[in-house]
Amino acid sequence: DKNVTNGAVFAMIPSSWEVLIYQWSKDFYARDIDGQVDVVQARRQPWSTVKPFLYLMALENGANPDDLIIDIESEYNSFQEWKVYISENYSLREYGLVRLKKALGNSFNNATVRLARELGLQEVFEYYAKYWFSFASGAEHYWYSLVLGNAETTLERLVRSYARLLPETQSQLPLSEGEIQKSPSPREMSEWQREQASKFLLYDILSDPDNRDVSFWVNSVLSTSIPQAVKTGTSSDFRDNLVVSYHPDLVVWVWVGNNDSSSMQWVTWITWAWYIWYQIIEKAISMWYITERKINIPEGIEQQSYC
């Protein structure tokens, strides 16, 4: 009765890339919902689940989770004559001066677009490519909607990109395939350390329910018994509802919607995909697929009090 006909789940162990769950539709034999369409491999819009990569770029460029950014509706260059791009939050509200970690945790669109402008849209587009995002067109084709997830990608690629967000634990640079171990130069080591420090900060932001207090509440269904770094995405017309989480033990992605891209009716952002995700995570915890893991604070990170 709510026009929610299909769902998909993909889960993998990030350290070995072993796939544990690959369920591309509710029922392979269901012709009424095109059940034989592989949603995991289909190109769909990932919506707000791409935002962590923009904020990671900002952290690598010297931003701090407690830096302040303005969240107000604004006009931006659309790269087309006589047109402007206007940012707008999902809630249609503006939140003014907010901290970077709150902007990401609460998925504020206005602050996200402003951050993309500061970093440079083309630079952001190229940074996304570093994490295996492959879009059909260039940055100026998508305008600033690029950082809000309107550019299509395969959802399996999205999950594998999330697996790369986990900070490394080794003390040396990770080796490429076929590369022999060698001592990195001081410059290479400092760049690698900065990248790992930024990934640590991003994980800390996304796994802290306090950073989701405005949009999703602290004790929402996103708060599991063992915290996960988690990000959600919902289309403005409810064509898609999805959630992605990553943890040293497991990366999980859940999507619900319709293969014909028709809108779901009267659903909220804390139901459907998120509720299914919560049950999967808690089941994985009970079966010891997910355990308590302490991610060591990398070099270059200091905890300080602020007023």
pTM of the model: 0.90
Listed residue (48, 53, 185) closest to 107, CA to CA: 48
For 120-149, write each residue's pLDDT tens digit. Answer: 999 999 999 999 898 889 888 898 999 999
Distance CA 272, CA 274 (A): 6
CB 53 within 8 A of CB 131: yes
- At residue 180, the pLDDT reads 45
The SS3 assignment for 295 reads coil
Rounded to an integer, what distance in angstroms lies between the CA atom of residue 26 and that of residue 93?
35
Per-residue pLDDT, 171? 36
Q: What are phi and psi of 153, to 5 degrees?
A: -150, 165
In the structure, what pLDDT confidence band is assigned to residue 289 with cuts at 50, 70 and 90? Answer: very high
pLDDT tens readout for residues 84-104: 889 989 888 999 999 999 999
**Three-state DSSP class for residue 259:** coil
Per-residue pLDDT reduced to its tens digit, 12-67: 999 999 999 999 999 888 888 888 999 999 998 999 999 999 999 999 999 999 99
Q: Coil, helix or strand for 228?
A: coil
DSSP β-ladder status, 153-154 and 229-234: unpaired
Bigger pLDDT: 95 or 298?
95
At 236-272, the pLDDT tens digits run: 788 889 999 999 999 999 999 988 888 888 776 556 7
CB 256 within 8 A of CB 241: yes
